[in-house]
Amino acid sequence: MFDFFFQLHPVIQGTAKGLAVILVIFPFAGACSLAERKVSAWMQGRPGPNRAIVPWIAWVPFLGKFLQRLGVFHLMADGAKFLFKEEPLPGHVNKLYFVLAPVVAMMPAFTTVAVVPFGAYFDPAGRLIPLALANVDVGLLAVFAVSSLGVYSLILAGWASNSKYPFLGGVRASAQLISYELSMTLSVLPVFLWINAPGQPGTMSLVKAVEFQSGAGLHWSGVWFGFLMPLSALIFLVSLYAETNRHPFDMAESESDLVGGFHTEYGAFKWSLFFVAEYSHMIIGSGVFTLLFLGGWNPLPGLPLATVAGWLGLAGTPLLVALLSLAVFLGKIVFLLFLFMWVRWTVPRFRYDQVMKLGWQKLLPLSIANLVFYALGIAFLERG
Amino acid sequence: MAQILFYLFAAFTIASAAGVVANKNAVNAAMCLLLSLVGVAGLFVQLDAYLLAFLLLLVYAGAVVALFLFIVMLLDTKSRASASFKKLPMFASLVAFGLLLAGLGTFVTRGQLESRPLHAVPALGANLKLYAYQLFTTYLLPVQVIGFLLLIAMLGVIVLSKKYDGPEDA
């Protein structure tokens, strides 16, 4: 079965893998919207979506009722609704950019996924082979570079809508995204100072970051970077919330003062593309955070994938090891997504001046101080 | 394959660069500039300078052009009709164009470009460490000078844009 796949042309192989990953991310992002509503309902003490049901499944005695209460069919209902709704195109918009903006919103999320490794297995020689569409050496830089293009969807949507509230949303969003990119980039530098030992060619590889958190037993090499560099992790997480336009940094949308923010004029499928793009960005961002600070596919600190695979007797079967690593990685992502929602339904939205103040006057100096501290510390350790 | 890709990216870059100049709408021009930068990044990738390609995307495409758009949006230039050419700037730009053409011409016909084989040329933009090393040794002075220039520009902008009304404004 696998031999047939590996005999195909590399271009076809790559296309198939890319499509497979997108086919997972797209529904996963859709499911996040349902999870968001369920989590919010749970936090506010109400049942949340619990009505939609497919007739045939309703006849299944116990399971049908359970699934209905869980609200899983609302996902299908929502998707179908957005597909079949009329596509409004207001008369006063710039048509090209108005249509282009939702597409541009999806693009960075589906491009960055190519360089994010999401699992690993061991070949017969015991070497770690990451599961990734492209295991490139510039890894994280590629993620940052492509995801920085996401700001254009907000700017274009706000500008092309040609009305006041979307415009304000677009202007706010572009300022916010550019501001928090700085502290985000600075906050991960200590991790790469740690990884790039002297005498090796420099790397920004995310796989390498996980390998450095894969030590076994009670030794500092098994400690995740999140514990080794808590401040970096915190700054990265806060900037991640700002970069994905999530609460409490919901400036682009801020529906209480801007109606719907940058997507006020959007409806139906174009609007749902913005929605899916936001969740896709959250998934990718959570993935990068997991790789950098939460040990990637290693189940616990000091308990790497290889050890656990050995315990379970999976050492000789790469497929099962890969599935195990994938499950661990996805589990961490799901937890981080839950954290996103938890924060959203707990913390009130910042005012715009507070967002700017936090970004420029608090996080940026803090991340620079953090970088200097770790640079000195690592230089000291290296010498000693 | 590589040859075709090179011509594709080169044509794409030049066409969108021409779009920047030709477009009267400032937003269209900025978007063309963005496409042009993406094309240049593609050319860098073909030269194995992955680091430079992604830095170009991160800094120029991701931040600088976004700020251009930001300013364009705030100025709202679309309602203003483009000014017709005046005589003196027209003359000056023609002279400048002629000088540029002449300079390029001499460069192409008489220039002594050191043509080493491709593998002998050090790929300074390919590798993070090499790039950083060059930046902090050979090119330390230019980096410092540019940093200082940017600092001056930033101070100038602050001084020009901030209006001091009185002592309580400070």
Write out the DSSP string of A36-99: HHHHHHHHTTS--S-----HHHHTSTTHHHHHHHHTTHHHHHHHHHHHHS-----TTS-HHHHH
B70 and A175 within 8 Å at the Cβ level: the answer is yes
Taking residues A329-347, report their average pLDDT: 91
Q: What is the model's pLDDT at position B63?
A: 83
Chain B nearest-CA distance from A202, in A, is 5
Domain of A280?
90-383
**For chain B, which residues make up each domain, given as ranges?**
1-78, 127-162
The complex's ipTM works out to 0.80
In the block, tokens 């994280």 appear at A140
Structure tokens that stand for A366 in this block: 């803090």
A121 contacts A319 by C-beta, under 8 angstroms: yes
Nearest CA in chain B to A108: B62
Whether B58 and A204 lie within 8 Å, measured CB to CB: no
> pLDDT at position A367, please?
93
Quick check: B128 and A144 CB within 8 A? no
Name the closest residue on chain B to residue A199, using Cα atoms. Answer: B129
Report d(CA A97, CA A336) in Å as an integer.
Answer: 33
Please answer yes or no on whether A138 and B62 come within 8 Å at the CB atom.
no
pLDDT (average), residues A106-116: 86
Q: Does the beta carbon of B122 lie under 8 angstroms from any beta carbon of chain A?
A: no
Mean pLDDT of chain A: 84
CATH 1.20.120.1200 applies to domain B1-78: yes
Q: How far apart are CA A138 and CA A295, in angstroms?
A: 19
B108 by Cβ neighbours in 10 Å (0-12 / 13-18 / 19+) ranks as exposed
A217 to chain B, closest Cα gap in Å: 32
Q: Do residue B51 and residue A141 have CB atoms under 8 angstroms apart?
A: yes
Q: Reduce the DSSP state of residue A121 to 3 states and report it.
A: strand
Q: From the CB of residue A1, how many other CB atoms can be counted at a distance below 10 Å?
A: 4
Among A286-290, A365-369, B120-124, the minimum mean pLDDT is found in B120-124
| Stretch 71-110 of chain B: residues touching chain A, C-beta under 8 Å | 73-74
Contact B69, A155 (CB under 8 A): yes
Task: Quote the minimal CA–CA distance from A370 to chain B in Å.
Answer: 21
Say if A201 is an interface residue toward chain B (CB within 8 Å): yes
| Residue A51 in domain | no
Residues A109 and A282: their CA atoms lie apart, in Å, by: 9
Per-residue H/E/C for B106-168: HHHHHCCCCCCCHHHCCCCCCCHHHHHHHHHCCCHHHHHHHHHHHHHHHHHHHHHHCCCCCHH
Q: Which residues contact B49 (CB under 8 A, 6 or more apart)?
A: B123, B125, B126
Q: Are B94 and A176 in contact (CB under 8 A)?
A: no
pLDDT digits (tens, 9 = 90+) for A83-96: 888 888 888 888 88
Chain B closest CA to A237's CA: distance in Å?
A: 20
- Report residue A2's pLDDT band, with 50, 70 and 90 as the boundaries: low
Per-residue confidence (pLDDT) for residue A83, from 0 to 100: 85
- Contact status of B152 with chain A (Cβ, < 8 Å): no
- Element holding A260 (H helix, E strand): none
A-chain CB neighbours of B74 within 8 Å are: 171
